Structure 1
Amino acid sequence: MNLNATLKNNNASHEFLTPGPRGCKTDGTNTKLPTTILVYRVKQHRVDRVPFKTYVKNVLPNEWITSWPRESLKAGAVAVKSFGWYWALHSTKRTPGGQCYDVTDDTQSQVYRPGSATASTNAAVDATWGVRMTRSGNILQAHYCATSTACSAWVSGNWMSQYGSRDKARSGQGYRTILRSYYRDIALRS
């Protein structure tokens, strides 16, 4: 099997290498952003190749409340970017038809809706675009959840509370402090 012809030559950042679950790769590294991400559009039953920054800008307003404080949105922007970046680097997923993809457009990954970007969330993405979040030199698979109660079974230090990020921003904390309060042993590098 091979990638859908409309995706294959669009941008060579992902290519099919070998059969099996580990047959996709990206042009990104732990220090270089991928140029694109492959998004499985679940209801449409297709894979879209999306410029990576466009993807992040159209996820953040669906995962964070767009009127929340700027520092909460910035923390969210870094988490959304880190989660997508991690999966672009570790692409192991296939559609029922065999196409590679990195993330889904729903809550199984992150909610991606084309055309949903807003001024407040775009500003947060732009302000943090040069920041990468790593642990031991590797991009962090940054999990996040609405509340502490909803995520209580997750390992502490590996996820961020979305509402908690709002509350910390309201108390005057910056996005870097917010991220460090949730994700253990991380480095934030520009």
Structure 2
Amino acid sequence: MKRPWIAAMALFAVLLWGGAVVVPSAHGQVYAYHTIYNTPLPSVIHVAIRANNDPRGQILWVQTVGFQEYCSDVLPNEWFSNWKPEALKAGAMAVKMFGWYHVLHPVTIDGFTFDVDNTTNFQEYKYMSGRFETDQAVRNIWPYAYVYTNGGIGPLDFRAGIPNNANWMYNHSQKMAQWGSEYLANAGMNYIQILGFYYTGRTLLQGP
């Protein structure tokens, strides 16, 4: 006899205390809830390289990249390096958490298994494209994680948004407006306040 309430209670315990649990699914698979308390920061990430950095391009190979190096080579392609430092730090945290989440949820496409690709299907990655300002932002946020209040690791999604605007349509939408992060930084917000403007149910914690 199936007892769906058991799985529900187990998942509730995870959400409440931030532990790890394995829950049987309808297909015999398992669901593991990842938190910073039971999941180490990745040392590497597997990046599928698509031809011409085209989201529809053929996958040529999968490259293993140091995780911090990956974040440094994504940020200047997603946030302008001349933006305010607090906007760059908000972006660096989004890039880090987005990548971390996808390391935990790899995909297989066209016979290649990988965590992310190098295009805007995920985050735009270009080898050795880091800039001083964006590298500094990545280093500044590296000891921390912006996670659910129980420590759960989730992606920090983002969109371009509208220039010179806070992009209120993304307020507490679980998506950060990139242009909005710069606008709010210019208005005097620090990066934690910027993240809090767009994401709810999350907090900044010391990383693992």
**Pair in the same fold by TM > 0.5:** yes
* CA deviation after TM superposition for structure 1 residue 137, in Å: 2.2
Alignment-mate amino acid for residue 181 of structure 1: F
User: Equivalences for 1:1-190 in 2 at 5 Å?
Assistant: 30-31=35-36, 32-43=40-51, 45-91=60-106, 93-96=107-110, 98-135=111-148, 136-147=150-161, 156-190=172-206
* CA deviation after TM superposition for structure 1 residue 139, in Å: 1.2
Alignment-mate amino acid for residue 138 of structure 2: V
Q: Render the CA deviation track for 1:60-118: whole Å, top value 9, x for unaligned.
A: 00000110000000000000000000000111x1131x231000100000000001000
Residues 170 and 177, structure 2, Cα contact 8 Å, conserved in 1: no
CA RMSD of aligned residues (A): 2.2
Structure 1 unmatched ranges of 5 or more: 1-21, 23-28
Structure 2 unmatched ranges of 5 or more: 1-28, 52-58
Q: Render the CA deviation track for 1:133-172: whole Å, top value 9, x for unaligned.
A: 11142112110011069x9998952100001000000011
Residues 171 and 198, structure 2, Cα contact 8 Å, conserved in 1: no
- Give the number of the structure whose alpha-carbon radius of gyration is greater: 2
- The two structures have a TM-score, normalised by structure 1, of 0.78
Paired with 1:116 and 1:33, the residues of 2 have a C-alpha distance of: 23
Q: From the superposition, tell whether residues 155 and 74 of structure 1 become closer, same or farther in structure 2 (CA, over 3 Å).
A: closer
- 2:201 is paired with a residue whose SS is coil
Paired with 1:83 and 1:152, the residues of 2 have a C-alpha distance of: 22
Which of the two has greater helix per residue? 2
Q: From the superposition, tell whether residues 164 and 153 of structure 1 become closer, same or farther in structure 2 (CA, over 3 Å).
A: closer
Paired with 1:119 and 1:152, the residues of 2 have a C-alpha distance of: 30
Residues 171 and 197, structure 2, Cα contact 8 Å, conserved in 1: no
The alignment-based identity, stated in percent, is 35
Question: Which ranges of 4 or more aligned residues in structure 1 deviate by more than 3 Å?
Answer: 151-156
Paired with 1:37 and 1:155, the residues of 2 have a C-alpha distance of: 30
